Each structure stands twice: as structure tokens, then as C-alpha cells.
A and B are shown apart, each in its own frame.
Chain A
């Protein structure tokens, strides 16, 4: 049954994709194109492009879109629920373990998390760099990126307004 197949495929994607965002695309590609032939490769790339340009997490956007293409609105609901279910289970477990040990003031847990911080931040930094490589192409875009950086670090301005303002500036500059 198509809904069950969708559920299993996206449950697997939610269970085995690490690294967030675009790092999950190869696994989705394998399930959707190689295993099930639900979409053609050009269709899949359209899904990825739209997922990257639509509000919300990219992985959820992919799941919703593929689910819809394969089995309509119910299909999109099934795929979305399936892709988040492993997170719900695993995060709840980890949170429970984390609370049990850290709330007791276990020094070693604090040391472990402190030692992990640079790695966690390096993933975020590399995302900033790869987005910058893609989006920064001229003097204006450097100026926009710097302005956004300064506004976030030095003011309490809501980041949503910063991003919207940059988009509007883009319309004025590039249209």
C-alpha cells in the first residue's frame, strides 16, 4: 500500500539522516528515486529547489512535497509525520538521559558538552560559509552580509525584520 511505503521510506530518512538540511538530500534521493522510482531525477531536483526556497525546515519541505507528488494531501501528511517520528522518540530519550545526569550536576557531563561545543559551532559556521559562497557575489552583497552580522551582534532587532529588509534591498538593487 502506497501510504505504508511512504511511511516506511520517510521514517527511514528521519532515522538515518544526520547533519541536517542539505546533508539529508542524498538519502532522500536514494529512497525516492533508486528504491521506489516515485519521481524522476529532474522532478526531484525541482522538489529540492522548491524546498530550499520555501519557509520551514528543508527536510520537512522535501517530505511534504514528495508525499504530495506521490499520494496527494494525505500522502504529504503521512510523509511529514513519518520523517519527524524518529526525532520525537530519539530526542525524548536523549533529553531524559541529559536531565538525569546534568541536573545532578555531574561534572563529567558538563565537561563533555563543553568539549563538543567547538564541533557543534563549526557545523553552523560552515553553513554560514557555504551560504555566503553561494550568495555573496558583489560589493552590495558583501555590504548586506556585514550589515546583517553587525545588526544581530550589536542590536536586539528582530532577525525576521533583518532578513525581510535584506530581501527588499535585493529587490531595489537587482531588479
Chain B
């Protein structure tokens, strides 16, 4: 199978199979491109996640683009993008045209009552897996906890936390050089 088609199908599958957006897609994207397809290494994945989160726009779209770039250049990036976006486009149009009235059924609500806690477990697990591979030493874990506390308890703006992180990261980088 052509590489671009493989990239497209991988992101299509993940986009079509997950509900709740980028953070839900993240664990599946990691499993697909790192564990299953072995297109990129764990360390690279962390770099790409950093780029995707530090850029404006839809996080899952950014991630599909940057991973696609790495696997097969511009055509790979566009294949990933198309795969990530197409399920949204088709399912929203279907819902808008046909299914809107079925949206409040008890079965669907029960399905989500089971799926939502699992989603939180799955996203928690990807943090665990990525932290184990990428974080080293006391200070990095302390920084993870501090930044999480800012976001969770003080409801800090994510942009603010990223910018703050960048400032600290630049300072650390500068000090290492001197």
C-alpha cells in the first residue's frame, strides 16, 4: 500500500473512532505511529507533541500535520490532515442532515457514561507512558505537578502555562550554554 494512503487511513481510523477531540485522539495516535507502525520514535513523538501544542489551531490537526511531515514530507502531512478532518466533516453533516433528533436517546447516554471514564483513564495512561520515557529526575516531575496544579486548581489559561514553560525552558537552555 502507498505510504500516503497508510498515513491517511491511520488518521481516518483514529478520527472516526474517537469522540471528544484532540486529547482523546492523542493516546491512539501515539499507539498507532509509535507502537504499531513504528513510523516515529517515542522521543520524536514528544517533540512533535510539543510543536503541536505550542502552535495555534486544532491540536489533533497540528499533530497529524507534523507527524505526516516526518513520515513522508508535504504529501504525508496533507494525507494525515485529510484523514484527521474527514470523519468530522462526514459525521457532522450526517448528524445535521439526518440524526439530530436521535441524539438524546438513553442508549447513547449510557454508552457515554461508560466511555467517558475510560477516556480519562486512557489519557492518564498516555501521560504515564510518555512521562516514563521522557521525564528524567526530580525537577521534571515537580514541574509536571506544578504546571498541572496551575491548570487544574487555579484554572490557569493553557496559553499562559505554555508561554511560562517556554520562558523557563529558554532560561534553562541559555544557562546550559553559558
Chain A residues proximal to chain B, CB less than 8 Å: 14-24, 50-61, 64-65, 68-69, 73, 76-77, 80, 83-84, 86-88, 90-92, 94-95, 98, 102, 107-108, 111-132, 134-136, 141-142, 144-153, 156, 158-160, 162-171, 173-175
Contact = CB atoms under 8 A, between A and B. Distances in A.
A108 B125 contact: no
Contacts of A57: 15, 21-22, 25, 58-61, 84-85, 88
A131 B135 contact: no
A158 to B, nearest CB: 7
A96 B53 CA distance: 17
A167 to B, nearest CB: 4
Interface residues of B, number: 106
30 contacts: A18-B56, A52-B20, A53-B103, A55-B19, A56-B18, A56-B91, A57-B88, A59-B22, A61-B92, A68-B93, A80-B88, A86-B56, A88-B81, A90-B55, A91-B51, A102-B47, A107-B176, A119-B165, A122-B143, A128-B23, A129-B120, A131-B119, A132-B120, A145-B120, A152-B27, A162-B118, A163-B122, A167-B114, A167-B118, A168-B111
A84 B21 CA distance: 15
A60 B58 contact: yes
A146 to B, nearest CB: 6
A134 to B, nearest CB: 7
Contacts of A112: 169-170, 172-173
Interface of B: 13-23, 25-28, 31, 35, 46-47, 49-62, 65-66, 69-70, 74, 77-78, 81, 84-85, 87-89, 91-93, 95-96, 100, 103, 106-131, 134-136, 140-141, 143-144, 147-148, 150-152, 157-159, 161-162, 164-166, 168-170, 172-173, 176-177
B177 A108 contact: yes
Given A118-B141, A159-B31, A128 B114 contact: no
A148 B121 contact: yes
- Main secondary structure on B side of the interface with A: helix
Given A16-B56, A159-B27, A60 B148 contact: no
Nearest to A57: B60
B58 A59 contact: yes
A129 B120 CA distance: 7
